[in-house]
Amino acid sequence: MCNCTKKFTIVSIFVLFVGTPIYGQWNFKEIVESDKYIVALKSRDITQIKNYNGPPIITPYDIYGTGSIIKKQLDIHPVEEKYKKYVKCYILSCAHLNKNQPIIATFFDLKVGNCTVVKEDKKRDLLLLSTWCLPGIQEIQIGDVPEVGTEICSLGMGGFSGKPPSENTIRKFTGVVYPYINEYIFIDSPFINGDSGGAVIQNEKLIGVISGGSEIFKNNLHWPGRVCSNIKEFLKDAIK
């Protein structure tokens, strides 16, 4: 985890007011044992191509994202005897990954779980999933919404679609919190496809979920990063 302190760099101020991102200024961090609450998510979506000679041509494709384990419970698996050593876990991600298709989670220990949607908020772009994992998997606590100008860390699996979470497939870097717009916060961090649903942390607690970005630049770079906030309000009464 990163020890986040109040920090607003000259680079961040230049980017915020001039409006042009300076690539390569973000500080990447090493993945450590306590970061292993990160989960790789996979689902499906479809595209429809207009066909003048018949019905639309429907093409399915895979979509990928990131999630964070926020709670584990010692529930007993209702069906499978082989899962009796597993525990129920809850994963927080972003709602735009849910296309009403099966969502599969892959954990740090390479185990795979089929997810169930527990709660969804399209407006806030927040999604709560449940599945089964081994007890040793990490979880992260929920923190409060950060103050403007403070430093945060972001963790996402952008650029590693279809691969399990590991020290080599998670992008972890620092950024600074910009002013709020509605229920979203913005940070001077670049996100790419696959980062969606990833963790934004401060003081070793989850304080936001990666949602996307305001502008799209070359190499599908989304900047500045858009982050879902008000996690505590979303999770209220969601987990029994």
Q: In tens digits, what is the pLDDT along the chain, a chain of 240 residues?
A: 444 433 333 233 223 333 333 333 457 889 999 999 999 999 998 888 888 888 888 888 899 999 999 998 876 666 666 666 788 999 999 999 999 899 999 999 999 999 999 999 998 999 999 999 888 889 999 999 888 899 999 999 988 888 999 999 999 988 888 877 777 888 887 888 899 999 999 999 999 999 987 665 555 666 678 888 789 999 988 987
**What is the pLDDT, as a whole number, of residue 219?**
57
Task: Please tell me the predicted confidence (pLDDT) of residue 96.
Answer: 93
pLDDT of 190 = 80
Q: What is the pLDDT of residue 214?
A: 62
| Domain range 10-35+141-230, CATH class | mainly beta
Same fold, 10-35+141-230 and 38-133: yes
CA proximity to 48, closest of 39, 38, 58, 40: 58
Q: What is the pLDDT of residue 46?
A: 83
- In sequence order, the 6+-apart residues with CB closer than 8 A to the CB of 33 are 138
The residues, ordered by sequence, that sit 6+ positions from 139 with a Cβ below 8 Å of its Cβ are 37, 69, 70, 71, 72, 89
Classify domain 38-133 at the CATH superfamily level: Trypsin-like serine proteases (2.40.10.10)
> For the chain, which residues make up each domain, given as ranges?
10-35+141-230, 38-133
**What is the value of pTM for the model shown?**
0.83
